[in-house]
Structure 1
Amino acid sequence: MSSFKANIQKLGRAMLLPVAAMPLAGLIMRLSADDMLNIPVIGAAGNAVFGNLDILFAIGVTIGFAKTKDKGIPALTGFLAIATLKKGLEIMNPAVSMGIFGGIISGLVAAWTYNRFKNQKLPMVFSYFAGEKFPLTMVMILQTITAVVFGFIWPIIQTGIDSFAKLLVDMGAFGVGIFMFLNRLLIPFGLHHVLNTYVYYDLGSYTSPSGEVFRGEMTRFINGDPQAGLFLSGFFVVMMFGIPAICLAIYRAAFKENKEMVKGIMGSGAATSFIANITEPVEFSFMFISPMLYVVHAFFAGLAGFVCYLFNIRIGFTFGACIVDYLINFRIATNAILILPIGLVFFALYYFTFYYLIKKRNIPTLGREVATEFGTETIEEEEKELTLASKNYEYMAKKLLDAFGGAGNIADAYSCNTRLRVEVLDSSVVNEQRIKQLGVSGIIKPTEKNYQVIVGLEVTYIMAEFDKLIENQG
């Protein structure tokens, strides 16, 4: 079970790699449209991304699971895996289209093939094809078999997936509400990406005037499907109004002597959500302190999706459900103006509910907690540097690595949008209290040897320094 959880975490992380290419692709596709700049050659770059999602996911998943620092050969293995599968399916059953699921399966097969055969020895005459090159041969053989198998069984699986999608769609507002509720609820476990992937990139089908077929709420909306966007519109209410309201409630509920500090942190959190669609720094500031508050938040998110569906609001995003996508996609959306009054209502709902619960139940949110003393080993000069606010990312990375037991205790380390994810060899030497002293938003331990440190947008810079330290000490 522990291994299963760890692999699910890796799968969620691997899916973020191809997603990184989508915000800009979506923006340029929208800006190059006929009703805006009308420059098709710019839009072609966006189509290159959204027209090859299966390939991107195959490469991303392979890189995520390949056990090596140099990801070049694994990436090529992932490409060969999806290319072989697609060509094989064309022969087996031309009607089969596995979409991103084909990419994910290909990535998993490619990663397993690479990890299993990367050190393969061959007779001297074939030595050129041995070692890291051997998986390139093996993956084509394995994926040919995969194509034969899925040529027979995928129509059955696809029927099941379509039934699930139809169930969500047939449930109408309730289906959208359930999706958004689960989307928020799964964030603490890092599994929301798995759920999002299906809805964003595989739910529903749309054939454009040019004859191209697009799947997924996000992809269909960007490519002009007037029916897409119902599953996405509620996120604008949450990101642009709900999260800022939570920030205001936490600030107002803070003790007087802490208000200035909380104002800066929560103000930044509200702006980040409104402008960049990044919510985890705010959500992790209270989800473990008060799971009740977080369930309320998830319920309100589901309610936002429910209400937006009832008002037939259809608007999508690629950069995120923030002011950027709202303004750019406003002209092709349906009833997008209603996001504003609905958002104001939810702002009030979020604010008064959170403020009341924090005060009534004396929840120790930011600015209300009992001060935690640094350990006796922390000297005064160190305390000045020992926070994210210092922007000394090299120092932060060094202290994090020390708290995890040094480079020799790191089995794997990577980052996503806001989290530093670390797998250790021996969890008994990890100093969790020391990590908390570094000014991070929180720590999640999904399995015995896996940690997720909630850092925020600065995680990219800390991860870069973290990698350097591991490489130098390794």
Structure 2
Amino acid sequence: MMRQVQRLGGALYAPAMLFAFAGVVVGLGTLFTTEAVMGPVAAEGTAWHDAWSVVLSGGWTVFNQLPLLFAVALPIGLARKQQGRCCMEALVSYLTFNYFVNAILSAWGPALGVDLSAEVGNASGLALVGGIKTLDMGMVGALAISAVVVWLHNRLFDTELPEWLGVFSGSTFVYMVSFAAMLPCAALAAVVWPRVQVAMLALQGVIAGAGTLGVTAFVFLERALIPFGLHHLLYAPFYYDNAVVAGGIYSAWARALPQLAATSAPLKEAAPWAALTATGWSKVFGIPGVAAAFYVTAAPARRKRLLSLLVPVTLTSVLCGVTEPIEFTFLFVAPPLFLVHAALAALLATCMNLVGVVGVFSGGLIEMASFDLVPLAGSHGLEYLRAIPVGLAFTAIYFVVFRFLILRFDFKTPGREAAGETTLYSKAQYRAARAAARAHASLGGTGATAAPGEAGVVGSGATAASDGEGADARTEQARRILELLGGRDNVVDVLSCVTRLRVTVRDPALVADDAAFREAGAMGAVKRGDAVQVVVGLSVAQVGERLEGLLGR
């Protein structure tokens, strides 16, 4: 069950990966078309304004079509075969569902309490999905319909039909059954969802009324759920769906940028719902404090080696918002430190909210610049400047607290190991250690309480095949990984996540141990039943693509 939940989390993350570029385009487009910032050159009707309006219109693609993206993303994580065809089936079935809803509301809308002639928006409960006027079910509706299609695909795609019906096999057969399933789904949605919308509006009021206290609780829970891989399920309804604002915080913020750039009203008043994205401040200001505490508490003879590991992972956290290597290092060697980290992250977000720093701040500086600093610097730059002293103060707080706890309880953080190589750890290695401890058994030849230095090094996220050696090196690495997984016939499916390959195998006994995967250029591997996680690093997409090619998919 947990493996399926984690695969769902990976699927939810796939559309979010597009936000980095889309946010840059929307941020720049908003900046360059705002007359209050750029002056007369950006006035409506000028060549400058018209040219940037064209670019900006393309930048809205991701935010305008989020439900479609989530409908297509789910098969990537959950379809057991032919994921590409399942994506097509999910897309056409989801569009069919919305056409059915539109037709039902056109005929019986007043009786169901829905005015289909109203303008789309939060008050009406309507939205445009792929050009279809339908109920605004957001991410939840898209995922529900996509889940039905994935379930049908996994069971029906290989159905053998009589030869004279062969043209209806495969994806066509799945769509035929899905088409029939969409009718009752649409009818149920038309009856039930308007009532759900009423409850969601009430929930939005409760969350908005919680104010700063709500931000504190949300950020703490988001960080605290990371070890279990469930944080995606917490923030996704808020960031990408209607839990707090129509369309989700990301989409609503992107749409509101032109108005926010043109107003001098405090952002905390203009868009208070955006405050829940304050999870990124600990990535920008907290992680450098943790890294500094690791460095000063390390043995002097090991500091040079440790510095070469800490600099790249800290920059990755600050710039990109990817915190896995350093967070899972102290989670691995000293779990109490992670609880302290979650508490400090929540306190940092609370202070930012109290001084009025509000915006989309869930990622690193690159995302923050795209959604906040670049488009809103002219009208709200002074508000954002308040983040600097608050953030730097918390960098110092993180450093002092972590240094004290490390020395007081003699936590064996990197550079303080009794023996072995100075290393950082990955999420997979942390989970492996937990599983081994629960089972009171060994894992990969090491004890359940593996000493620091016995697991693979996680540095900048690069691998032996990603430091400029090119495509051939990655192909060779994928080939070696496939051999260690027990060969082509032993692999059931493969899913690429942010830094890992999630593989399902037929016979776990054929899978090599962790050390063999590290020798092949990976950062390690963890086996749990028929589920294997191969930690590759930030080149996982390229290696995964070549692995899929070797599997003939």
TM-score range, shorter chain: 0.7 to 0.9
Q: Which one-letter code corresponds to 1:145 in the other structure?
A: P
What SS is found at the alignment partner of 2:374?
A: helix
- Which residue, 47, 64, 68 being the options, matches 2:60? 47
Distance 1:342 1:436, change over 3 A: farther
Gaps of 5+ in 2: 39-47, 110-115, 117-124, 126-134, 261-269, 422-443, 446-455, 468-472
CA distance, structure 1, for counterparts of residue 196 and residue 69 of structure 2? 22
Residues 429-462 of structure 1 deviation map (CA, whole Å, 9 limit, x = unaligned):
55554268568777677x6433445544233344
- Which residue, 493, 499, 502 being the options, matches 1:418? 499
Q: Shift of residue 290 of structure 1? A: 1.3
Query: Match of 2:14?
Result: 17
Q: Which has the larger radius of gyration?
A: 2
Q: Shift of residue 81 of structure 1? A: 2.0
State yes or no: 1:229 paired with 2:274: yes
1:258-407 matched pairs, under 5 angstroms = 258-316=302-360, 320=364, 322=366, 324-325=369-370, 327-331=373-377, 335-372=383-420, 390=464, 391=467, 393=474, 397=478, 400-401=481-482, 404-407=485-488
State yes or no: 1:218 paired with 2:250: yes
CA distance, structure 2, for counterparts of residue 299 and residue 465 of structure 1? 41
- Contact 1:315–1:329 under 8 Å retained in 2: no
- Contact 1:201–1:216 under 8 Å retained in 2: yes
CA distance, structure 1, for counterparts of residue 487 and residue 162 of structure 2? 40
Distance 1:422 1:126, change over 3 A: closer
CA distance, structure 1, for counterparts of residue 242 and residue 170 of structure 2? 40
Q: Shift of residue 204 of structure 1? A: 5.8
Q: Shift of residue 192 of structure 1? A: 1.6
Q: Shift of residue 260 of structure 1? A: 1.4
- Which residue, 74, 81, 102 being the options, matches 1:68? 81
Q: Which one-letter code corresponds to 1:434 in the other structure?
A: A
State yes or no: 1:149 paired with 2:188: yes
What SS is found at the alignment partner of 1:75?
A: helix
- Contact 1:315–1:336 under 8 Å retained in 2: no
1:29-178 matched pairs, under 5 angstroms = 29-33=26-30, 34-35=33-34, 38=49, 39-69=52-82, 71-90=83-102, 91-92=104-105, 93=109, 94=116, 95=125, 96-178=135-217
- Contact 2:281–2:361 under 8 Å retained in 1: no
- Contact 1:173–1:309 under 8 Å retained in 2: yes
Report which stretch shifted further, 102-111 or 80-89.
Answer: 80-89
Residues 309-330 of structure 1 deviation map (CA, whole Å, 9 limit, x = unaligned):
2222211158745464353244
CA distance, structure 2, for counterparts of residue 398 and residue 263 of structure 1? 33
Q: Which runs of 4+ in 1 moved over 6 A?
A: 384-387, 439-445
Query: Match of 1:252?
Result: 296
Distance 1:290 1:412, change over 3 A: farther
CA distance, structure 1, for counterparts of residue 242 and residue 380 of structure 2? 18
Q: Shift of residue 16 of structure 1? A: 2.2
- Contact 1:188–1:444 under 8 Å retained in 2: no
Q: Shift of residue 394 of structure 1? A: 5.4
CA distance, structure 2, for counterparts of residue 301 and residue 248 of structure 1? 17
Q: Which one-letter code corresponds to 2:95 in the other structure?
A: A
* Identity across matched positions, percent: 28
Q: Give me the TM-score of the superposition, normalised by structure 2.
A: 0.73
Q: Which one-letter code corresponds to 2:88 in the other structure?
A: L
What SS is found at the alignment partner of 1:420?
A: strand
Distance 1:72 1:402, change over 3 A: closer
Q: Which one-letter code corresponds to 2:312 in the other structure?
A: S
- Contact 1:273–1:279 under 8 Å retained in 2: yes
Q: Shift of residue 360 of structure 1? A: 1.9
Distance 1:464 1:389, change over 3 A: same
How many residues are treated as equivalent by the alignment? 453
What SS is found at the alignment partner of 2:493?
A: strand
Distance 1:294 1:51, change over 3 A: same
CA distance, structure 2, for counterparts of residue 413 and residue 123 of structure 1? 31
Gaps of 5+ in 1: 207-213, 376-383
What SS is found at the alignment partner of 1:230?
A: helix
Q: Shift of residue 10 of structure 1? A: 1.4
CA distance, structure 2, for counterparts of residue 23 and residue 411 of structure 1? 32
Residues 225-264 of structure 1 deviation map (CA, whole Å, 9 limit, x = unaligned):
63142112x3342121111211121122222222112101
Residues 334-377 of structure 1 deviation map (CA, whole Å, 9 limit, x = unaligned):
822211111011101111111221222221222222444998xx
CA distance, structure 2, for counterparts of residue 418 and residue 343 of structure 1? 28
CA distance, structure 1, for counterparts of residue 420 and residue 475 of structure 2? 24
CA distance, structure 1, for counterparts of residue 480 and residue 457 of structure 2? 10
Residues 152-196 of structure 1 deviation map (CA, whole Å, 9 limit, x = unaligned):
122333344444443332221121111111211222222222222
CA distance, structure 1, for counterparts of residue 547 and residue 458 of structure 2? 15
Q: Shift of residue 121 of structure 1? A: 3.7
